[in-house]
């Protein structure tokens, strides 16, 4: 049985991973979070603690050998180095959930793991977030070297699926529930890719104590390349009938501040084969994952 320490676990990816892993007998799961949202998950040991309170964290955690530490919620420089210093005992592997946004936008598409990383941040919130993740990747490498533990970096593309708190697919689901026309860009050229949250959870499980991914950074990206037309076609299939669409131009989207969640006039494409080969896995087809996501969302929110 692998002893695993999870940072996060209350939200989206961390919660889905914890739920799925808790149903297996392969793991001894320990979860650290602030306790704002009750986990209500059996077969885990839960520590209510802010990760930034390193003194308290060091007292609460047992001194043991951790087969893996999985960090779903490192966002600010210093989060990883301080955490690894605070964890009692030995950490064999550290799995950091980063983002595909760490690459320079100008890098050729689809971006592979050796594409240039962001050199600077900026005022744009998305770029600032991505640059901090890029700095945290460097920090993780240095801290793991000092701690003598293996590092695995996972860089997901757009994650979708049940429990997603980001207003991506829910923007469209809510429009359907409220009988609002869905903005459909008529001249958008942007292409983008997704990864299903359950695939992310399975990939994380496949990486635990897996020497094939020690010292590796891997994109998590299903192969389907989407644009807004393709995305809306998949959504219509999940819905089971034609959607009520409102044609808009890209200029109108910007002028009216329509909160469309995906790139309109640039590509965000990533090669996700490296992790697929390393783990011998297949990504969930986007139509299947979106259908399941739609059905779960509607069953919870439909009046």
What is the C-alpha to C-alpha distance for residues 83 and 54, in angstroms, rounded to an integer? 7
What is the C-alpha to C-alpha distance for residues 273 and 271, in angstroms, rounded to an integer? 6
The pLDDT of residue 8 is 87
* SS3 per residue for 76-106: CCCHHHHHHHHCCEEECEEEEECCHHHECCC
CATH architecture of 169-191+225-267+285-301: Alpha-Beta Complex (3.90)
**pLDDT tens string 242-300:** 999 999 999 999 999 999 999 999 999 999 999 999 999 999 999 999 999 999 999 99
pLDDT-derived band of residue 10, with 50, 70 and 90 as boundaries?
Answer: confident
What is the C-alpha to C-alpha distance for residues 99 and 157, in angstroms, rounded to an integer? 7
Q: Which helix (H) or strand (E) holds 246?
A: strand 245-248
State yes or no: pLDDT of 303 exceeds 70: no
Mean per-residue pLDDT of the chain:
95
Structure tokens at 288: 């299947």
pTM to 2 decimal places: 0.96
Domain range summary for the chain, segments of one domain joined by +: 2-160+194-223+271-279, 169-191+225-267+285-301
State yes or no: pLDDT of 193 exceeds 80: yes
Looking up tokens 């390349």 gives 225
**pLDDT tens string 96-121:** 999 999 999 999 999 999 999 999 98
**pLDDT tens string 33-74:** 887 777 888 889 999 988 899 899 999 999 999 999 999 999
Measuring CA to CA, which residue among 216, 67, 58, 60 is closest to residue 137?
Answer: 216
CB 162 within 8 A of CB 16: yes
Select from 3.40.50.300, 3.40.50.720, 3.20.20.140, 3.40.50.970 the CATH code of 2-160+194-223+271-279: 3.40.50.720
| Residue 145 burial (10 A CB sphere; 0-12, 13-18, 19+) | exposed
CB 119 within 8 A of CB 59: no
Mean pLDDT of 133-143: 97
What is the C-alpha to C-alpha distance for residues 105 and 122, in angstroms, rounded to an integer? 13
CB 113 within 8 A of CB 219: yes
What is the C-alpha to C-alpha distance for residues 138 and 187, in angstroms, rounded to an integer? 39
What is the C-alpha to C-alpha distance for residues 302 and 299, in angstroms, rounded to an integer? 6
Structure tokens at 20: 């799925």
**pLDDT tens string 216-233:** 999 999 999 999 999 999
The pLDDT of residue 95 is 98
The pLDDT of residue 157 is 98
């Amino acid at each position: 049985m692998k002893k695993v320490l999870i940072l996060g676990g209350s939200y989206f990816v961390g919660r889905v991973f914890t739920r799925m892993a808790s149903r297996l007998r392969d793991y001894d799961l320990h979860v650290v979070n602030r306790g704002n949202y009750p986990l209500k998950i059996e077969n885990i040991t839960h520590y209510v603690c802010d990760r930034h309170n390193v003194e308290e964290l060091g007292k609460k955690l047992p001194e043991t050998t951790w087969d893996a530490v999985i960090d779903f919620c490192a966002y600010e420089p210093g989060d990883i180095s301080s955490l690894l210093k605070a964890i009692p005992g030995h950490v064999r592997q550290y799995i950091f959930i980063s983002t595909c946004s760490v690459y320079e936008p100008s890098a050729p598409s689809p971006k592979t793991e050796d594409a240039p990383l962001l050199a600077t941040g900026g005022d744009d919130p998305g770029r600032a977030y991505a640059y901090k993740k890029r700095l945290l990747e460097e920090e993780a490498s240095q801290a793991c070297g000092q701690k003598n533990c293996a590092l695995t970096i996972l860089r997901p593309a757009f994650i979708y699926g049940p429990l997603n708190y980001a207003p991506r697919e829910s923007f469209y689901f809510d429009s359907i529930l409220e009988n609002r026309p869905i903005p459909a860009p008529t001249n958008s050229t942007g292409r983008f890719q997704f990864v299903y949250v359950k695939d992310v959870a399975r990939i994380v499980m496949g990486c635990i104590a897996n020497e094939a991914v020690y010292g590796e950074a891997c994109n998590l990206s299903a192969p389907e390349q989407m644009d807004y037309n393709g995305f809306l076609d998949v959504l219509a299939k999940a819905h089971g009938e034609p959607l009520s669409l409102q044609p808009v131009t890209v200029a109108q989207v910007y002028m009216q501040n329509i909160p469309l969640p995906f790139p309109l006039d640039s590509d965000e494409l990533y090669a996700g084969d490296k992790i697929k080969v390393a783990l011998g896995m297949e990504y969930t087809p986007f139509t299947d994952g979106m259908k399941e996501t739609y059905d779960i969302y509607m069953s919870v929110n439909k009046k």
